[in-house]
Amino acid sequence: MDLFGVSILITIALVVLLGSGVWIAISLLACGWLGMQFAAGGIPAGTVLATKIWGNAASWELAALPLFIWMGEILFRTKLSEEMFRGLSPWLGRIPGRLLHVNVLGCGIFGSVSGSSAATCATIAKIALPELKRRGYPEMLSLGSLAGSGTLGILIPPSITMVIYAVAANVSILKVFLAGFLPGLLVMALYSGYIAVWALANPGKMPPPEPRMSLREKLKESTNLIPCMLLITLVFVVLLVGWATATECAAWGALGALLIAWWSGALTWESFWTSVMGATRLTCMIMLILAGASFMSTSMGYTGIPVALANWVNSLNLSPYVLIAALTVMYIVLGTALDGISMIVLTTVVVLPMVEKAGFDLVWFGIFLVLIVEMAEVTPPVGFNLFVLQTMSGWDSNTVALAALPFFFLLVAAVAIITVFPEIVMVIPNWVFPN
């Protein structure tokens, strides 16, 4: 069977397995095993499976993954979200959209210490939704801004998704982290800009302004931001000055989260154990998916499909913009059926050779891919943020998806902007690591 036939067979097998409800990791392992049967040289599939899974699990870079997840789990069970809302709200009273901007700023701040989109969305929504509803803000805009802003948890570093991409693409985790800062600020600016324009266009749907606060009162409320800002400072100072690697930085973050939980009085044996078990479950799920993806990637490498596909795409002489547009559409379609991590591990082995041949920097492509994954978080039917807000608000998923639609298009705009102006992504990594 030629390479085209093998690729079609593996694709059909993967679609059938996923459509039948088989676990993603098991589907990947099965398709990897199938691909090995067509590898040249009669390479034993069992030996490759054992060595790749062990090699993938023993990766030093992946040690950061459970620590970042645990850090988010700890903070999820503290009063951090409530304190952030109280600290930010006094400064937004005179901006069009007023307290709706707390969703954007709160998710941005919490996302910088969480690394998880779902945790960021749930944490901020837990306090923001009832507060905004009580004060009379339009609920659809509240839901949409929370769904969109929750995705900042995977764009503003540290990010679980960035760690997984960096390992899959064999690029520096630190460079990918640094590349996420300015795109994160860009997305926040787009979100806040939309909220402000909507508020100016619909003044009758906004509640009356809050009573004015003195500067002293504002500063007093802002002290609630201190614990979170200290943790952010701790994580990035030890990272940027070279006291710790990206992996060791995750340990500093987890330690800082434990200290915040202890200082706030939320660190009980029950909350500690719950956070450990939550982090363990999520880490095991991700590691199993990565193991399956690693075996399938190796299998496809033996078949020669990725190289052949890259050469074919290269022979089409597509312009870089056309290639990025095609990949964007492909990932948006995948996002309707797969979660973000699965999208990355399923496609990087095939897509990265194309991207490299088109002349794109793999660090830049990582941020592009994270933005596409953000779209998947607010795309039905498998949008995790939609599930979170559906549970917390009582609205059905279609209503929440409709509310999030404008923020989906803002993410599309962000992808277009960083494609036209790649310096937005690369300026900080190139400054820290000059060639």
pLDDT at 338: 64
CB atoms < 10 A from the CB of 282, how many?
A: 20
pLDDT tens digits, residue range 385-417?
Answer: 777 787 777 787 778 888 989 999 999 999 999
pLDDT tens digits, residue range 257-275?
Answer: 888 888 878 788 888 898 8
pLDDT tens digits, residue range 319-332?
Answer: 888 888 888 888 88
Contact by Cβ (8 Å): 238, 177: no
pLDDT at 40 over 60: no
The model carries a pTM of 0.73
> Between these two residues, 391 and 354, which has the higher pLDDT value?
354
pLDDT at 61: 61
Percent of the chain with pLDDT over 90: 14
- Backbone φ and ψ for 35, nearest 5 degrees, come out as -65, -35
Q: What is the mean pLDDT of the chain?
A: 80
Contact by Cβ (8 Å): 112, 232: yes
* CA-based nearest residue to 161, from 179, 187, 185: 179
Poorest-pLDDT segment among 36-40, 177-181, 228-232: 36-40
- Token couple for 228: 């979170």
Under 8 Å CB-to-CB from 210, ≥6 apart: which residues? 89, 93, 98, 99, 135
pLDDT tens digits, residue range 289-306?
Answer: 777 777 777 777 777 766
* CA-based nearest residue to 130, from 82, 77, 62: 82
